Amino acid sequence: MDKEKGGLWIREAATSVSFYRVKYGEKKQRLITVSYDQVIQKQHEVRALFSTPEATAKLDKYFREFPFLKREKAVKKKEYLSRKQIIDFMTAMPESISILIEQDPKCLSDENKQLAYEIWKAWTPIRQLISNVSGWNVKEGDSKKALGWGNAKPKEEEEG
């Protein structure tokens, strides 16, 4: 009786899990793909496709940990802005706010008042992260010198 050779490879996608048989020197073979909400119900079907002790042990561990993994997958991953996106956003904000101020110069609109509150709420930790010693420790004056805005001269002119 020939013992089945080949390993097990598990690939998690956004909404499903695929189980592959991997044999050295050959292309991996996808045997089954199961949606996240069906993984536990279909584990017997998946187990039937793999008979090596190593694959069985790997499946045991995967199915034992899956309820925790599923909770992790269910939590929406935070998306972060790139440096360029942050710069583009911060550059566009003053002009966007200016347009809103033209339409409501005394900030009488509840939406604009709420927006102003939210901007201050968001700006406070941003300023702390950038300027405090526990963050980047870059002060407003450093920016003025480096970029030549406000009443500061760029570093090159100052040194020359």
How many whole angstroms separate alpha carbon 72 and alpha carbon 46? 22
Return phi, psi of residue 33, to 5°: -125, 130
pLDDT tens digits, residue range 21-80?
A: 998 888 889 999 998 888 889 999 999 998 889 999 999 999 888 877 665 555 556 788
pLDDT at 26: 87
- Contact of 39 with 70, CB cutoff 8 Å: yes
- Contact of 46 with 59, CB cutoff 8 Å: yes
pLDDT tens digits, residue range 5-25?
A: 678 999 988 888 999 999 888
